[in-house]
Amino acid sequence: MLYRKLGTSDCEVSVLGFGCMRLPMVGGINSIDRFDPSKAVDEEEAIKMIHYAIEHGINYFDTAYVYHGGKSEMILGRAAKAYRDGIMIATKLPTWLAKVPDDFDRFLDEQLKRLDTDYIDFYLLHGLNRPVWQRMLEMDVLAFLDKILADGRVRHVGFSFHDDVKIFKEIIDSFPWTLSQIQYNFFDENYQAGREGLEYAASKRIGVVVMEPLRGGKLTDKIPKEIQVLWDTAEAKRTPAEWALRWVWNHAQVSIALSGMSAMDQLKENIRIAQDAYPDSLSQKELGLVQQVKESYKRMLKIDCTGCAYCMPCSNGVNIPMNFSLYNDTFMFKDSDVNVLLYNHMLSPEQKASNCAECGECEEQCPQHIKIPEELKNVHTRLSQSQARKLN
């Protein structure tokens, strides 16, 4: 395993971080169900994977209050107990659930109990955007951060981010953060904080942790023929996951790439890839190929959804990420019949796009700023009409 320095801290972190947002599920349930407390995590397999990760050099584990309906922190705590001094745990304050300043302490103390630890190595403000940041400032969150650093419950603080680069820079300049966590991959190079934010944080000596390096698996699953043809032209034969991860690690400003691994084979592959995760190791020709792949994908994508599931649960029962995934797949993977069938027979009536009440709550939570109710109409029109034509 390779290691990089994290900001101005004295922490040497593994370039591959274990994201505990997509732990293995009983029955192989899709990771979009990770916020549903009724869905069961395969705890035995999850703990086995976490132990394997630690024993193979991964020392940074990322979780959050809401992951897997609150189970992620507890499972990580159990798995990490015997290794606590040799690893670093990052978790997050659920900013949208904090209504009054006293909630900050309440959530943190609950998380310490869940994780069964006396301290948290990295405590992040979760999902900052402009309105959330303003509300946090009004609740004097910076004084809270100073307090928890002083009392030892937390060793370092940071934030995860979903908004434009202008507010990202304002947040960076507002406090002596140790790290910032941003969405970054070859498809989203100039989205949200993007490359400009990455370079700005690094210039301020703030560590950068990358989430969604594989774009929620979209850059590795069901690769379209025209994309695979491009990858096959490379002299170095790599899997799509390897290309995507190597592209992120090629940036010297990146300290960690988080991967939400839900199967042991994914974990083993990513550990293998991380062994060559040196900055500036991709040639200009290889970077040019990645750019070609990006442009090809851009021509196919209809809805810019990463499957992060921040829009869930829907108060009306709509399975928003699944609807968008089926819709995008009909364009990106040229597999309309299968996706029409899945939409009409796999999703329950309340889960379908047609059940959207247009309340707008999901749109407020979406990090990608997707016009969700409008796009759900497009989903239903496309998939239901296709099915009707098929049956006629």
Domains and CATH numbers, the chain: 3-297 (3.20.20.100), 320-391 (no CATH)
Residue type, 356: C
Q: How far lies 164's CA from each of 118, 192, 305, in Å? A: 35, 4, 17
Q: For residue 38, is pLDDT > 70?
A: no
| Predicted pLDDT at 46 | 95
Q: Can you give the pLDDT at residue 330? A: 83
- Condensed to tens digits (0 to 9), the pLDDT of residues 356-380 reads 999 999 998 898 889 999 999 999 9
| Residue range 146-181, pLDDT digits in tens | 999 999 999 999 999 988 899 999 999 999 999 999
Rg (CA), the chain: 21
- Closest Cα partner for 165 from 185, 148, 189? 189
Q: Lowest mean pLDDT of 5-9, 18-22, 159-163, 212-216, name the range.
A: 212-216
Residue whose tokens read 């407020």: 364
β-pairing, 179-183 vs 88-93, is: unpaired
Stronger pLDDT, 42 or 336, i.e. the higher one: 42
List of residues 6+ apart from 169 with CB closer than 8 A: 197, 200
For the residues 333-345, what does the mean pLDDT come to? 73
Asked if 309 and 34 touch (Cβ cutoff 8 Å), the reply is yes
Question: Using 50, 70 and 90 to split pLDDT, how confident is the model at 215?
Answer: confident
Per the CB < 8 A criterion, the answer to whether 112 and 120 are in contact is: yes
Instruction: Encode pLDDT of 259-286 as tens digits.
Output: 999 999 999 999 999 999 999 999 999 9
Q: Which residues contact 353 (CB under 8 A, 6 or more apart)?
A: 318, 323, 343, 376, 377, 379, 380, 383
- pLDDT at position 32: 45
- What's the pLDDT tens digit per position in 114-125? 999 999 999 999
Does pLDDT of 391 surpass 60? no
Pairing mode, if any, of strands 154-161 and 12-14?
A: unpaired
Percent residues over pLDDT 90 in the chain: 70
For 248, other C-beta atoms within 10 Å of its C-beta total 22
Q: How many angstroms separate the CA atoms of 23 and 21, rounded?
A: 6
